[in-house]
Structures are given as structure tokens and as C-alpha cells.
Structure 1
């Protein structure tokens, strides 16, 4: 439960904090600035404790502890993979040199460096919009092998807060540097630097779209982008689809799978921006969480791979009546027997003018990312890291649940929901296990989705899904007199099923994550639910009112 994830947050003074306060006050004799703890609320999360200003110069949202926990686990897992890749690359380089020396009869040069120094063992992080600095403080204290963190914010009050919390948590300025500046300016300045940032974290108030262009240029090849967008109403098409297009370059589709569509729209935006600079992305984990999306993405240099991006981006056709969906990639990749590749425009349209199931017309969404949105090897390692270090994370139960569900997801775009399937036909609700058994018995795959508790991913086409539902309606008939003549239900049920659905319980109909009783989905909202208001200016003391009496 989310309430359980907030247990570690303390708004009272604890002995450890008082000890730190005494330490700070005593050190003022050496010229350091005294911190008056009484002017702040103290907030403890993970290994970090921040001084949260009572006058609201910057804001803190405890609900996003899960976001920060997931980020720490993701960055740590990425760093282990990154260092291993560096070691393997240098080992191959050394082996090639030895082989070349043997072929030429020369004596191979001896590497006098120890084995552990053959590759990099540390990395840098940029938090572009740091606010209080809580995230950066946690990164400094909880992620190993961090060389330097730049916590940037445009507001002077925020930068002062970062410096104050850095000192309060006894972190050196060499490790955590507070920087005041425009986030885009910091990232654009890093483009031509000798060393770009290895990890860039974008967690803005609202959309991350304005910062993506700078981020994809400022991160090192093989580095990690961590991106949050909280404007979910725009990304899911709940309001102003034209605004979504202006920000993300794609039209959203409101309805059944809107939360996955939101993830894919952001991925498309990042890939499109990266491609301009000869770079491509690899989504590691794309998470729909509460009121926002959080994506962990690797960025690489490779003009050859950039050419494949058009085959990973496509349009979505969604039926207005029954929500049957079909994707259409913008390009096709043809690989010849000799390994050479050739690209051609995609062929289509992939649907008729009217839906073959209910005869309604289609909506068009996108362009959007239609390739896989997770790297299952990465998710497995991240899940293992959480299992091995669950005491580090206040939201470890929920982390394990979400990562387990993500690890089970099929690499299929979008999903169905029980509410849509049964609501379209106006029939009795079908149990999830019966529907999944019928899909498996028909020879197709299925999985749940982390985006929706009642969501079902499957490689079965829409016609198969509706034939299964016809079999359910055959067992539990629908009262047709209550259904309109032009209703999608009447059109679908009027067509005979092409096969007899088998609802016999299948041994794989219940996913493993459900067997072990994990916290798979968010529970009821708490008082801290939803995005906080923007940080306001410090409250000024009210001036005494002047006397209205005229002086004589």
C-alpha cells in the first residue's frame, strides 16, 4: 500500500537529526554557516534527510518516493551493466592486440595496469531540475561508484536548498555540486564537453518535452536517460489532443489502452529527437505509475541503427465501436541472405474503411513507438537487485510487484480490458482466468499489463478475441431487445464465430506474479495523491496597516 511506502517519512525531529544539528552549530566556530533547524520541517527518505522549508520556497511530494526508489534501482542496475560492457570491450581490445602481435611475430606489450583499472569504475549524473535536492542527495548516498552529481535548478531558492541539504547530509561538494542555471543551457553546454553526463534525470513539473532535445545530446553513448512526464491528461487524450501533438508530435487515443499509448508517445518523441544527431534509443523499462510516466532509456551513437527507427515507429488504427486496434509501422526492414538490409515504406492501410468486427469507422493515433518498450534482461536484473537489497527501499513491495508484472508482459503493442470486452457486448463479466484460458486453449499467448489491473496483452487478433467473447455470450446470453440496431454488440454477435471457444481451465492461466501475492497495482489514493502545486515564492510577512485617520 502507498501508506506503507510513506512510513519512512518523518516530519518530526529524531535524535540523529538533532545530533546533526548540534554538529552543524558547533562547526560554525570554524567559519561554517549555522543552520537553524527550527525553521524547517525535516523529511527522511531512504538514507537522505532534507530540510523542507516551511515557507514553501520549493516543494516536496512524498508520493514520488516510489519514483525515486525505482530510479535508484534502475541507475544502479544500469551502472553494473555499463561497467561490465566496458570491461568486456577492453578485454576484447587487449585480446586483439595480443593476436595481432602473435601474427606479426612481435612481442605483445605488457599491460602494467591492474585488471580492475582496465575500464571506468565511476560515472556522472545530472539532475536537471533538482528542486530541494532530495533526489540528488539520495543518489549520492545510495548509489555506488558515483563520481559526481550536478544538481541543477533555475531558482535561487532551490539552489540554496540543495546546498543546505548537501551540507546537512554531510556530502562533499566535490560529489554533489549545486548549480544554478537553465536546464537546457547546462545540457547544451555539455554536448561538446570532453565528458558528457553518463546519466541524465529529467523530472519536471508537467511535460519533459522541452528538455528532451538537450538531454539526448548531453548523455554519453550507452548512457541512461531517466524521464518523467506528469501531464498524463494530455498524453492519454483525456483533454486537448492537439496539445499532445504539439508537445510530443503524436495524436493520443483516449480509451482502453491510453496509458500504454502515453508511454509510446514519449518514446517516439525521444527517438525522433535522438535520430537527428545520429543516435538511437533502447527502452529498458517504461512505467505507467499513478499520475505520471517514468521511462529508463539508453542512448547510443549509431547512424546505421538510426535507419531502423522508422520500422519501430508507426500509426495506430482504433475502432470507434469495439476498440479493436491494429498498428502500421512507417517502414519495413528487409534483410537479405548476405546480411545486407534494405528499407522500404510501410504498406497499408492495414484495416478497411470500416471495422470488420462491428462496421464502425476508425480513429488514427500516432505516430508512436510500436517496438518493445522494455528490455526483459534489464528488468530481471533490476528485480533481482530489489530482492537482494529490499531494506534500502521504502517501497520495495510495490517495486517487486510492478517489475514482476513488467517482466511477464508480452512484447505486443497495447492491450484489451475486461471492462471494454464485456461492456461492448453488454454481457456478464467474464472472469479473467476464463478469458486467459480460452486465449491459451486457442493457441495464442497472453499476459497481464502493469498499466491496467484488468488489462490483457495477447498476440491473438481482434477477430479471435471477439469469437471467444461470442462463446461466453453463448453460455450467458445477452438480452438483445435492450441493444440498439446500430450497436457494435449487435453487429459483432450477428457474425458466427469461426471456432468454438474452450474455457477449460489452463494451467498457465494465472501468471506467477499473482501466485506469490505481490503488490501488483496501486491501491486507493492517499491525501498526498496527485501532482503537487508548483513551488511558490516565500511568504512575506504582512505589513501593519496604516492608520486611515488623516493627520491634523
Structure 2
């Protein structure tokens, strides 16, 4: 089931929720535990997002992009519903703050999971016992083990701990020592040290070290700077059976077809420029995930795929099964070379109707907007198609429910721009504020550097007058003095050079009535 969890994004959810005691020993920075909470430095800024409060450097030392808030909101909602499915199969109910006030929309995600949940529902309960529950901010011994491979400031992991119920632990990993030090302070600032454990390691090596079935993570979140391609091979091996893999790609220029060769080297597919470039980007990422999983007799089942702003975000479950892997190969072989572009046309409709029904719809449309049959050859395919009477009657009248209530009420379909000049942020670099100011200066200097400055009209007219008019030479130019090119005969020195034995002989004639006197060397 997928339920609307808009209330997860509210900052006041954790008010009144019990918090466990801090566990400094669990907050690892590689091999050393994090120290005590230190006072915020003067150059740091505090940001409140969802139920988390984060301190991060004002300079670009630790990556943070406020535009990705929707990405983090969506991830919290998806993991919450995934926890509902996984823990429900174990007889554990999750408690989401404010869920009673939210309208629920039920979508069937997995029939097998629903059957398991029904079989185990109440199986572990004795008469008179209450069902086991998992609340936000509490450790669930049978809950989900989550890994955020590239955590930066730890904002996403802390939001998991404060907004998602049914968690056993959250490992917030980053290769930067500065980022891990900041994570340690943010974890203590939000009182989630019992759930969130910072680590400093290479994300790939950390996932490769958890390939054993007993050590795998139930949820792996990858939100790298640019392409996630270097991490996908390790991720599909480190996620548990039926586990959730959340991947973000911000290299949309590559996925949208600007560099097909680069896309092939990273994702194993050629991206083409088309109106359906965003849908193609999602399909390429899903294919790349499935391709890497197939190497280990595993396959992916997409749950949710989103193209938003300047990135794509996919949520897939990873399973093991040789038969399904072979089916994936047959699916790719059967559909290769086919390009669908209906995703880029707002008037197009995707359908699984048979081709005979589509032809009947076209015949019905032709009856309302007839073509001139006399222009069609009797041997043409169009004439033969339209000669058959449709077996079904299609109505093209506009339905009353075609205009949703959200559009009638004028609700916004997209987020408002959170700040000026928003978009992908630069990569985090050491050097603090000085490095950030230097980057801004380079941006200012390089702004519009590829655009040619507008030429002054007087200078342009003078420059064009230096070129002879070809039509004047041919005697066909009728513009006279209004012509922007030169009607003057060639200079004497040019004529003498043309008449020399070493230069090919050319002739130049003035058109009749041109009013130009013949000069020396001019025929």
C-alpha cells in the first residue's frame, strides 16, 4: 500500500515523542567515537527542514542543496510505507504521527507481500494481547536497517530517525572527515544518537563489506553529486532480499541526450534527444540498475520513478531469482530499437489496447474530420484502412471529469522556487568561504562568454560594403545604392594582378545602364 504521508514533512511531529538516551559509542567516525557536542562555529548556519534541525557551514565545505527538500520528503514517505509492508508481515504495526488526519490512497504494490501480511496477521498474538507497534524515534529490534551512502551533513538520515517509524538503525556514511564531524554534532543536536550512527568510509567499500545475506541493509539511499553509476554495482549486492534501493541522478544533461557516448559509458544505454527525454532518462536508469543486478542473479521491481526539476529519482526493490533474470533478458531483446515519444506529447495517451481498436479510433476520427478520398490512391495503405468500417464507435466529446478538481481550484502542481538562481549546487570543496567566493567570481566572469556581443549597425554596414555584390557581377542586382554590398569595380592593382601570367584571367562587365564608368583594365 502507498498512502499519502504529507504530514511526515511537518516539523512538529516529534513533539511529545519519547527519545532514547544518546549512545556516543554507536556514533562512529571510522574507528573513533564522536566527541561531545561543541558550540556552533560563527561561520555555521542552522537550517530547519521537516522534523530535523541541522547546522552546516556557510561556505561550500559540506554539500547541501535546499532545492532537494522535495526529494527528501518523498523518500521519507516511501520508506514509511515500505516499513509498513515489511513490518506488517512480522505482525508489527507502525505508528505515524498525524496519520488519522490524512486521507489514505491505497495502491496494490505487491500481491505476495499482501498475502504474507494476511497470513502472519495476528499469528504471534495470544488471546487478549495487544499487537506490537513501532513508533517514530524508537528502536525497533526487527525494524529496518538503513544506509545513506553519501550523507554529507546527515540531514536525510536525521530526518529518517525523526520521521520514519520502524527503524532498527541508520548508518550515515561519508568519505569526508569534515562532513562526518558535522554529522556527529547534528546527531546530538537532534537527540537521535541511539538510531543514527555516523561513519567515515568509501561508500562502495562499505557496501561491498555487507554482501553477506545476514549483513545486508534493508534500505540503501544513494544521492551522489552527479551520476550514481560508480555505486550501483555495490548497492545491488548490499541490499537485502526484497530490500529498497533509492537512487538519485542529477546528471540530466547526459541522460537527456546531450552526450550519448557518456551516457553509454555510465549506464550502458544511448540517450537520444527527443521530446520524451525525461521519461527516457528514467528508463535508462532503471535498465542500468536491472543490468547490474542481473550479474548477481538478482532483478529489480520499480515502485516509484520521478523526474523533478534537474534530477530523476527511482525507488526499486531488489529480489533474487534466475528465472526472472532470464525474463529480463528476453524483455530487453524484444524491445530494443523501439523508441516511444508519447511521453513528450501532452495530447498523447498511453494504452495497452490492441492495434485493431486503435485503427477503429482513427476511422471514427476521420468521419468527424474527413480527408479528401479522391486524393488517395486505391493502392495506398490509407485508402485501404479507411475503406473498412469501424467495429467500435469512439466518442471524442470532452468528459466532465477530464478537468480535475485540483486544476479547477487553481492548486499549484509544482513547488515554488525556494531561492534565486536555484538548481544543481557545485561540488563541496575544501577551503571554506574563500573557495566559494572564488567560484562565484569565476561564474560572473564566464557568464554569457559564448554569446557574441551585438554588432553596431553602422559598423556592420561598413563591413558589408567591403564585399563585392555577386548579383551586381551577374547583372541581376536591382537594388542600386540600397544594396548592402559593394557595386564598385575592382581596384586597378587588383586588375593588373589578375592580368598577370601567373594569375588566372577573369572578366568583369558592367551591366547596361549601371552608370559606372569603365576603368583601366575593365572590359
| Pairwise same-fold verdict (TM > 0.5) | yes
Q: Does 1:168 align with 2:189?
A: yes
Which residue does the alignment assign to 1:329? 335
Which residue does the alignment assign to 1:61? 65
Q: How far apart are 1:522 and its partner, in Å?
A: 5.4
Q: Does 1:85 align with 2:106?
A: no
Choose from 396, 412, 415 the match for 2:342: 415
Task: Please say if residues 251 and 365 of structure 1, whose CA atoms lie closer than 8 Å, have aligned partners that are also in contact.
Answer: no
Q: How far apart are 1:59 and its partner, in Å?
A: 2.2
- After superposition, residues 530-541 of structure 1 pair within 5 angstroms as 530-539=423-432
Choose from 261, 266, 279 the match for 2:280: 261
Choose from 10, 24, 38 the match for 1:34: 38
Task: Write the distance in 2 (CA, Å) between the matches of 1:292 and 1:40.
Answer: 27
1:185-240 deviation line (CA, Å, top 9, x unaligned): 00000002623111000000111111111111101111100000001111111x11
Which residue does the alignment assign to 2:150? 129
Choose from 294, 303, 310 the match for 2:329: 310
Task: Write the distance in 1 (CA, Å) between the matches of 2:90 and 2:302.
Answer: 20
1:46-72 deviation line (CA, Å, top 9, x unaligned): 111111202321121111000000000
Task: Write the distance in 2 (CA, Å) between the matches of 1:177 and 1:528.
Answer: 34
Flag the 1:532–1:502 CA change in 2: closer, same or farther, 3 A.
same
The alignment partner of 1:144 has SS state of coil
- After superposition, residues 202-241 of structure 1 pair within 5 angstroms as 202-237=222-257, 239-241=258-260
Flag the 1:79–1:467 CA change in 2: closer, same or farther, 3 A.
same
Task: Please say if residues 290 and 522 of structure 1, whose CA atoms lie closer than 8 Å, have aligned partners that are also in contact.
Answer: no
Flag the 1:94–1:64 CA change in 2: closer, same or farther, 3 A.
closer
- After superposition, residues 263-278 of structure 1 pair within 5 angstroms as 263-278=282-297
- After superposition, residues 280-359 of structure 1 pair within 5 angstroms as 280-314=299-333, 328-329=334-335
Flag the 1:464–1:86 CA change in 2: closer, same or farther, 3 A.
farther
- After superposition, residues 176-195 of structure 1 pair within 5 angstroms as 176-192=196-212, 194-195=214-215
CA radius of gyration, larger in = 2
Q: How far apart are 1:165 and its partner, in Å?
A: 1.1
Flag the 1:228–1:471 CA change in 2: closer, same or farther, 3 A.
farther
1:284-335 deviation line (CA, Å, top 9, x unaligned): 1011111100011111122232222124435xxxxxxxxxxxxx436xxxxx
TM score, norm. by length of structure 2: 0.60
Q: Does 1:76 align with 2:80?
A: yes
Task: Write the distance in 2 (CA, Å) between the matches of 1:204 and 1:66.
Answer: 16
Structure 2 spans left out of the alignment, 5+ residues: 1-8, 12-34, 92-114, 134-139, 373-379, 436-523
Task: Write the distance in 1 (CA, Å) between the matches of 2:62 and 2:263.
Answer: 28
Q: How far apart are 1:146 and its partner, in Å?
A: 1.3
Task: Write the distance in 2 (CA, Å) between the matches of 1:232 and 1:254.
Answer: 12
Name the stretch that deviates more: 194-203 or 298-307: 298-307
Task: Please say if residues 259 and 271 of structure 2, whose CA atoms lie closer than 8 Å, have aligned partners that are also in contact.
Answer: no
The alignment partner of 2:36 has SS state of coil
Which residue does the alignment assign to 2:104? none
Task: Write the distance in 1 (CA, Å) between the matches of 2:74 and 2:311.
Answer: 14
Q: How far apart are 1:32 and its partner, in Å?
A: 3.2
Task: Write the distance in 2 (CA, Å) between the matches of 1:524 and 1:266.
Answer: 26
1:317-364 deviation line (CA, Å, top 9, x unaligned): xxxxxxxxxxx436xxxxxxxxxxxxxxxxxxxxxxxxxxxxxxxxx4
1:445-502 deviation line (CA, Å, top 9, x unaligned): xxxxxxxx66643446687898788788769x9xxxxxxxxxxxxx999998677985
Task: Write the distance in 2 (CA, Å) between the matches of 1:329 and 1:244.
Answer: 19
Q: How far apart are 1:162 and its partner, in Å?
A: 1.0
Q: Does 1:49 align with 2:53?
A: yes
Q: How far apart are 1:515 and its partner, in Å?
A: 5.6
Task: Write the distance in 2 (CA, Å) between the matches of 1:514 and 1:94.
Answer: 41
Compute the RMSD of aligned alpha carbons: 4.0
Task: Write the distance in 2 (CA, Å) between the matches of 1:230 and 1:492.
Answer: 45
Q: Does 1:519 align with 2:523?
A: no
Task: Write the distance in 2 (CA, Å) between the matches of 1:233 and 1:468.
Answer: 41
Task: Please say if residues 89 and 120 of structure 2, whose CA atoms lie closer than 8 Å, have aligned partners that are also in contact.
Answer: no
Task: Write the distance in 1 (CA, Å) between the matches of 2:42 and 2:348.
Answer: 49
Q: How far apart are 1:115 and its partner, in Å?
A: 6.1
Flag the 1:273–1:416 CA change in 2: closer, same or farther, 3 A.
closer
TM score, norm. by length of structure 1: 0.57
Task: Please say if residues 470 and 493 of structure 1, whose CA atoms lie closer than 8 Å, have aligned partners that are also in contact.
Answer: no
Flag the 1:417–1:53 CA change in 2: closer, same or farther, 3 A.
closer
Task: Write the distance in 1 (CA, Å) between the matches of 2:71 and 2:411.
Answer: 18
The alignment covers a number of residue pairs equal to 361
Flag the 1:115–1:510 CA change in 2: closer, same or farther, 3 A.
closer
Flag the 1:473–1:255 CA change in 2: closer, same or farther, 3 A.
farther
Task: Write the distance in 1 (CA, Å) between the matches of 2:434 and 2:314.
Answer: 42
Task: Write the distance in 2 (CA, Å) between the matches of 1:121 and 1:160.
Answer: 29
Task: Write the distance in 1 (CA, Å) between the matches of 2:121 and 2:188.
Answer: 43
1:232-267 deviation line (CA, Å, top 9, x unaligned): 111111x11011111111112211211111111111
The alignment partner of 2:214 has SS state of coil
Task: Write the distance in 2 (CA, Å) between the matches of 1:517 and 1:541.
Answer: 45
Task: Please say if residues 177 and 200 of structure 2, whose CA atoms lie closer than 8 Å, have aligned partners that are also in contact.
Answer: yes
Flag the 1:89–1:32 CA change in 2: closer, same or farther, 3 A.
same
